[in-house]
């Protein structure tokens, strides 16, 4: 991959980009919209990054999306979540994927100022080159044992949750 401008990637977002919502316990949660995170990644990498959805699981009314973000040869994985609210399953899945992308981006230093209690944010760790994980038996087809890309309807409960290995 081409050079990454890590200073631009980790630069705090302007106040007008930071949104708030009510969370558990009526706490106010600050967040950045997914499109703003994507724009930051595009701008700081020259649109040279990788993103994959590794798994989608639905369990007990919760959608969990395991995603992978690659920037500058380094790979970070995270899990995004979204509660099902009786609406469109596809919108809930997209929201979980967006949450996973934003969380994976924080592992590169994007938006870390939202997690700080003061105005200064600790710098993100220096990126390391990607390492290939050992391959193992993960259900035979690389997507958790089903043939639908890892997408599970609510009645397909999975005991436990683990990121999937990519297939070479």
**In this predicted structure, what is the pLDDT of residue 86?**
80
Judge whether 20 lies within some domain.
Answer: yes
Question: Average pLDDT of the chain?
Answer: 78
Please give the Cα distance from 134 to 124 (Å, whole number): 26
Judge whether 153 lies within some domain.
Answer: no
Q: Give the total number of structural domains in the chain.
A: 1
Residue % of the chain over a pLDDT of 90 = 60
Taking residues 117-146, report their average pLDDT.
Answer: 45
Judge whether 151 lies within some domain.
Answer: no
Looking up tokens 């106010």 gives 28
Judge whether 138 lies within some domain.
Answer: no
What are 48's two structure tokens? 């040279």
Q: Domain residues for 52?
A: 6-115
Judge whether 154 lies within some domain.
Answer: no
Judge whether 140 lies within some domain.
Answer: no
Angle at 107 (CA atoms; ends 158, 146), nearest 5 degrees: 20
Judge whether 50 lies within some domain.
Answer: yes
Please give the Cα distance from 21 to 30 (Å, whole number): 7
User: pLDDT digit string (tens) for 24-59?
Assistant: 899 999 999 999 999 999 999 999 999 999 999 999
CATH number, domain with residue 58: 3.30.390.80
User: pLDDT digit string (tens) for 55-71?
Assistant: 999 999 999 999 999 99
Q: If DSSP codes are grouped into helix, strand and coil, which group holds residue 42?
A: helix
Judge whether 97 lies within some domain.
Answer: yes
């Amino acid at each position: 991959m081409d050079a990454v401008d890590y200073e631009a990637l980790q630069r705090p977002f302007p106040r007008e980009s930071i949104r708030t919502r009510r969370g558990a316990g009526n706490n106010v949660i600050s967040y950045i919209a997914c499109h703003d995170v994507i724009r930051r990644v595009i701008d700081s990498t020259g649109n040279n990054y990788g993103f994959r959805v590794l798994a989608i699981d639905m369990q007990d009314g919760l959608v969990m999306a395991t995603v992978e973000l690659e920037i500058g040869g380094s790979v970070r994985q995270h899990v995004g979540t979204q509660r099902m609210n009786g609406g469109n399953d596809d919108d809930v899945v997209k929201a979980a994927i967006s949450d996973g992308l934003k969380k994976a981006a924080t592992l590169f230093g994007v938006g870390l100022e939202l997690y700080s209690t003061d105005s200064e944010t600790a710098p993100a760790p220096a990126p390391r080159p990607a390492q290939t994980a050992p391959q193992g038996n993960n259900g035979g087809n690389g997507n958790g044992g089903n043939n639908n890309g890892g997408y599970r309807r609510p009645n397909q409960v999975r005991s436990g949750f683990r990121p999937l290995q990519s297939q070479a």
